[in-house]
Every structure is written in C-alpha cells, then in structure tokens.
A and B are shown apart, each in its own frame.
Chain A
C-alpha cells in the first residue's frame, strides 16, 4: 500500500469553516403520526408539550415534546409513551448545530428566536453528512429519563 503525503505548514492550512446547520427531521404533527400511525385523534393535555393519542376511542399512548441543549444549541425531540407509561419510541425532531463564530453572531442566533419545533427551518438547503466527531446524546437520554419521571405515572 503506497501513501500520498500532503505536507502543509500548519499556518497555511485554512480549512473550510464548518457551516452552521439545522436538520428538521419531523414536525410535531409528523412525529405524532409516525409514533401512533393508527391514532385518529391527538388531544393536547399540556399546551405545546403533551398530547394524548386516541384510536377508536381508546388511548393509544402519549406524545411528549421536549427540548434539550445539545453541544451549543437546542435539540428538539419527542418521546412516545405507551398507555402504560413505558417508552415506545424516541425520535429527534430537529437538530441544530453551530460551530465557531456563528454562535456569537446575533443575526445567526436570531434565526432561532420564536421558532417552535413545528416550524420548518433550514439554514442550508444542502444538508451535510459529516464524519469525524462523535456527538454525545447524553442530554437527550437524560431528558427521556426526566420525562418518564415526570409523566409516566401521572398520565396513566
């Protein structure tokens, strides 16, 4: 196996700035349908946060929307609970990422103000696939635990 070497003085390396982006995976409505395909009715139990899913007059489960801070910005996610209060599905609704200078730019941050998880938001139409750094999902995992502690017993 032969190698091609690229020797660059450290000062000369001007790699492209990784642009900030947000990936909108699902709106709240889409995520509700994904989690409970048979449900005919979603009733808001707590405004903007908890919905009861019903199918043919029977409770199919609960849908909880939440937001945690990721590396720098918010991650919107939803937990679908069974009628018994167990986790049925955890889905990321929107992932936002920012690096370097963008986070300090008020105009960049302003894009997020007033946005709810349901509003479509795309900074780059061309959503990138990135390799090279493992992002921790710890905060989402902790969020799911908090949701279970807060709602699992109350909703039943």
Chain B
C-alpha cells in the first residue's frame, strides 16, 4: 500500500527572524514531535549563541574568557572551532571578533552604554580553544559575535533532528539560510540584492544548503540604508565591493560563514570555496553577476 505523505509547514520566531520548517511526512503526532524537537534545537542555538542574551555562552565568554579560561557548551565549541578554522583559511577575513566594530556602527548594542573601542584587527590566535571545551581570549577586550555563522549551524542541527526522527524529506529556512534533505529537488527563489521587491534567480537544489548575504535593505529600522552588516576586519569598515552573495554547499553553517567572506573577497575567494566544496553567486556593485562554473546550470537567472 502506498504511504500518503503530506507537506507540513510551521514557523516560529527564533534567532531574531522567522524560522520555517517544512517536512514531507505523514501527518500525525510523530511528525509533530519531530518538528517540535527541530525547533527546540534552533531555540537551543539561540539561547547559547545570542549576543543579546545575558546568559548565553557568547555573553559569558565576552565577559570572562579574556580574564580566565571559560567552559562552553559542545555546540558553542563546535561553532567556535569552525569559525577559527574559517578565520585561518580566509587569511583573517572571516572574523568573529568584529563585535566591537559592529557595535561602533550601531549594529550591535554597546556594553552598558559605553562607547565601543574598535581594537586593531586580531592577529593569529585571538581565540584559544583548549581541551574540555575551554575557551580563552588572548586580550581582555576581545568580544565575539557568532551572528555570521550560528544561524547556519542552527539550520544544520534542525535538519539533523528531523533525520533522527526518520522524516523522509524536508526543508529548514532561517530567513534565507536554508538546507533541504530528501530525494526530491527543491526550488528556491533568490531575492535581488539591488531590489528586494524582485527575484533575481530560481535555484534548484537537493540535499544541500544555501545561504545569502546582501547589503541590508530597509528591514532593520533605525539604521543607515544600504550599509552592509558585514565588516571588513582589515579596515574595520563595512564591506563595499559586493552587494550580494549566495553560497551553496553541504553544510549550512559553512555556507552562512562563506557568504561573509565572499562579500569581502569577491571572486578572490575561489580557493576557499573549492576547499569547502562550495559554489557561489555574486552580485557586484557594478551589477555584474558571477557564478562559479560548477553551479551555473542549477541557477536560472530571472533576467
């Protein structure tokens, strides 16, 4: 007897955005439990890695790890390991210690109203990762923000939970950082970074992750329109070369982090993309669109 599958879709406000989970599975308590557990995983990432929550691991290391070794959750440690490796492989372009620069331009709140001092770009091992999930900062004024990588990690954890519950196929979308699993291909529409009212391309994907970054639209209030939320650690200034970057690879965490690097390096990130088995679509400030040759068939430009 064929098994009838339904498409079930839910959304919750998490990670400062709307996280959507869609599964193709038989409706019932089993599937509901799987979706609940997947959302719980996302909520756990939020609790551990939010810059804004006082009790998160991130807030704790920002207060303590410059003073004394601080133990963090296994998930936080895993993200920090990936962040440190990405920092090394990108020649310092990916840098989670840009929090003070983000505070200086008003993208993150300052600590207790004090004026954030932007330290010199970190050289080498600003973050030490020690056995037993211990984190230590070299300098007492180091502040990290995992906003450029944790959202993708949360998507990966949610996908993992759905698979553990034997859900046959699905999609987790944290406002544009998304990953799909299952046999059937999914079509994803990409917003035009020059005009968010329009779609730039339709992308077909199966069993992989996609993440996009763009110069910000008017989606966050009270901020300068058109400024980038991505800070070039070499200059401390918002990135300006690219206005949009979309990355496809197997891990949503890696895709999420790579968008930040590619916004700064543009086509110069080729070796890094190759190392991570990633494809990219770039929209340059002059309007040129560049797509890595391994991926151009799956991307259908709307123009």
Interface residues of A (CB under 8 A from B): 1-10, 12-18, 23, 25-26, 34, 37, 71, 77, 89-92, 95, 99-100, 127-138, 140-141, 144
Indicate the member of A10, A137, A140, A144 with the most B CB atoms within 10 Å: A137
Is B144 at the interface (CB under 8 A from chain A)?
Answer: no
Q: Is B65 an interface residue (CB 8 A)?
A: no
* Chain B interface residues (CB < 8 Å from chain A): 9-14, 16-18, 22, 29, 32, 171, 173, 175-178, 186-200, 203, 210-212, 214, 217, 219-221, 244, 246, 267, 270-271, 273-274, 287-294, 296, 301-303
Known: A4-B290, A132-B212. A12 touches B303 (CB 8 A): yes
Taking A1-B294, A136-B220 as given, write out 4 further A-B residue pairs in contact, using a Cβ cutoff of 8 Å, ordered by the A residue number.
Answer: A9-B287, A12-B303, A95-B18, A127-B9
- Cβ-defined contact, B211 with A131, below 8 A: yes
| B10–A25 CB distance below 8 A | yes
- Closest chain-A Cβ to B232's Cβ sits at a distance in Å of 20
Judge whether B191 and A8 touch: CB under 8 Å. no
Q: Are B191 and A135 in contact (CB under 8 A)?
A: no
* Given A5-B288, A129-B187, A23 contacting B17 (CB threshold 8 A): no
| Residues B11 and A18 in contact, CB atoms below 8 Å apart | no
Distance in Å: Cβ of A82 to nearest Cβ of chain B: 16
Q: Are A135 and B292 in contact (CB under 8 A)?
A: no
Q: Is the CB of A23 within 8 A of B9?
A: yes
Interchain Cβ contacts within 8 Å, total number: 162
In the bound complex, residues from chain B placing their C-beta under 8 Å from that of A92 are: 10-13, 18
Query: Given the complex of chains A and B, what is the CA–CA distance between A127 and B301 in angstroms?
Result: 19
Contact B246 A18 (CB under 8 A): no
Contacts of A89 in B (CB 8 A): 12
CB distance A136 to B197 under 8 Å?
no
Q: Is the CB of B198 within 8 A of A18?
A: yes
In the complex, how many angstroms separate the beta carbon of B36 from the nearest chain A beta carbon? 8
The distance in angstroms between the C-alpha atoms of A99 and B177, with both chains bound, is 21
Report which residue of A1, A13, A37, A99 has the largest number of chain B beta carbons within 10 angstroms of its beta carbon: A1
Q: Is the CB of B198 within 8 A of A131?
A: no
User: What residues of chain B lie closer than 8 Å to A71, measured between beta carbons?
Assistant: 219
| Bound CA span A91–B14, Å | 10
Instruction: Contact check, A18 vs B189: say whether CB atoms are below 8 A apart.
Output: yes
A61 to B136, CA, bound (A): 43
Contact sample, A vs B, 7 pairs, CB 8 Å cutoff: A6-B301, A13-B303, A16-B199, A91-B12, A92-B11, A132-B212, A136-B219
Q: Are B198 and A16 in contact (CB under 8 A)?
A: yes
What's the minimum C-beta distance from A99 to chain B, rounded to whole angstroms? 4
Given contacts A3-B293, A91-B10, A132-B212, A137 and B198 within 8 Å (CB-CB): no
